[in-house]
């Protein structure tokens, strides 16, 4: 009989392309305290290197205090191409707490109920810790989905309800129907995952021809809704605090910014030493120049 742990281990060990594994090895080698590197996002689904590769670097040590993760952007010249990577770094202990919904944060379990691959790990014991954390993320998400979703519905109905609520709680601008895009990449995975996560979390359910009904007592449902209410109220303030922190600590912010501008507007913005040193001060001028360039003859170097 298949279990949640089986699904988690299968996903974590999904094959990835050499470029992703090479970048992960570099990231791990740059920080001796690295315990594991997770790869996630759209490039994991497509197997391509176009755009930005998303990594979580999990480090050893006790849970950190204050805000997390630390975010950086780097470029690597490998395999005859420039690979771009956005790297979030945090302690594995903190990651595990957040995945198990032991904090008010919703971003970790929401993100890692989605597929991720363990592309570098220090030792077998760490592999087990990461797998447990990813399993806890699935249980956290499924638990809130049971309370926030319909009384009876398909697995897709519950996941859609959950993602809509988490998007609304976070300071994120997502296109309408974004949850459908996420679920549509591998609907079979999510259909399999939900009942397994409920079972692992001790939530009984009925399944009548694909229509699921979790067995939540009124007391437990109300407790989950109260817990969700606390997270919803904390979501946007936490996001704002992280954005303010990132404005001053995001390593490679200027390089990432000019790449984003050119990718989304077609306007090439040279990375001057001043722009690289003062990305926040440079931003208004860059936006003005981009607007002016697009208002004139179209994309060009400014």
Is residue 76 over pLDDT 80?
yes
> What are the residue boundaries of the structural domains of the chain, listed by start?
4-249, 253-295
110 contact partners, CB below 8 Å, separation of at least 6: 141, 162, 163, 166
Per the rule left: phi > 0, alpha: psi between -120 and 50, beta: everything else, 48 is beta
Three-state DSSP state, 270: coil
Is residue 40 over pLDDT 70?
yes
Closest by Cα among 20, 35, 221, 12 to 131: 12
- Range name among 29-33, 201-205, 246-250 with the lowest pLDDT average: 246-250
Which pLDDT belongs to residue 301? Answer: 43
Percent of the chain scored above 70 by pLDDT?
79
pLDDT in tens, 92-144: 999 999 999 999 999 999 999 999 999 999 999 999 999 999 999 999 999 99
8 A C-beta contact, residue 83 and residue 39: no
pLDDT category of residue 273 using cuts at 50, 70 and 90: low
Is residue 30 over pLDDT 80?
yes
Percent of the chain scored above 90 by pLDDT?
69
Which pLDDT belongs to residue 299? Answer: 45
* Mean model confidence pLDDT for the chain: 87
Question: Which two tokens mark 123?
Answer: 């030792």
Tell me the C-alpha distance between 130 and 35, whole Å: 9
Which pLDDT belongs to residue 208? Answer: 96
Is residue 249 over pLDDT 90?
no
pLDDT in tens, 149-162: 999 999 999 999 99
Which pLDDT belongs to residue 207? Answer: 97
Bridge partners of 289?
none
8 A C-beta contact, residue 155 and residue 195: yes
Is residue 264 over pLDDT 50?
no
Which pLDDT belongs to residue 246? Answer: 72
- Which residue would you say has higher pLDDT here, 99 or 177? 99
Pick the CATH number of 4-249 from 3.30.460.10, 3.20.20.70, 3.40.630.30, 3.40.50.2300: 3.30.460.10
60-73: b or e for each residue (b if 16 or more CB lie within 10 Å)?
eeebeeeebbbbbb
- pTM for the complete prediction? 0.84
Average pLDDT of the residues in 225-240:
93
Between β-strands 34-40 and 116-121, what pairing exists: parallel, antiparallel or unpaired? Answer: antiparallel
8 A C-beta contact, residue 135 and residue 193: no
Which pLDDT belongs to residue 154? Answer: 98
Is residue 266 over pLDDT 80?
no
């Amino acid at each position: 009989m298949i279990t949640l742990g089986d699904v988690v281990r299968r996903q974590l060990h999904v094959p990835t392309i050499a470029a992703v594994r090479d970048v992960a090895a570099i990231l791990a080698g740059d920080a001796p305290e690295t315990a594991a590197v997770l790869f996630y996002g759209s490039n994991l689904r497509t197997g391509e290197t176009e755009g930005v590769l998303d990594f979580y670097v999990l480090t050893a040590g006790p849970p950190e205090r204050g805000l997390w993760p630390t975010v950086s952007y780097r470029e690597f010249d490998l395999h005859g191409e420039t690979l771009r990577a956005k790297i979030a770094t945090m302690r594995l202990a903190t990651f595990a707490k957040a995945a198990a919904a032991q904090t008010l944060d919703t971003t970790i379990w929401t993100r890692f109920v989605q597929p991720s691959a363990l592309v570098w790990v220090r030792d077998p014991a760490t592999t087990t810790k990461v797998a447990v954390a990813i399993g806890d993320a699935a249980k956290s998400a499924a638990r809130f989905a049971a309370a926030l979703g319909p009384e009876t519905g398909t697995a897709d109905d519950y996941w859609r309800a959950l993602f809509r609520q988490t998007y609304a709680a976070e300071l994120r601008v997502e296109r309408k129907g974004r949850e459908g895009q996420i679920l549509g990449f591998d609907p079979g995975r999510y259909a399999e995952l939900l009942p397994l996560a409920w079972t692992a979390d001790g939530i009984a359910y009925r399944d009548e021809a694909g229509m699921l009904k979790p067995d939540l007592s009124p007391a437990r449902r109300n407790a989950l809704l109260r817990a969700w209410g606390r997270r919803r109220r904390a979501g946007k303030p936490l996001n704002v605090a992280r954005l303010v922190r990132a404005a001053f600590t995001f390593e490679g912010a200027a390089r990432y910014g000019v790449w984003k501008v050119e990718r989304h507007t077609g306007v090439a913005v040279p990375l001057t030493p001043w722009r690289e040193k003062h990305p926040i001060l440079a931003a208004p001028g860059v936006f003005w120049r981009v607007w002016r360039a697009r208002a004139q003859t179209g994309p060009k170097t400014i």
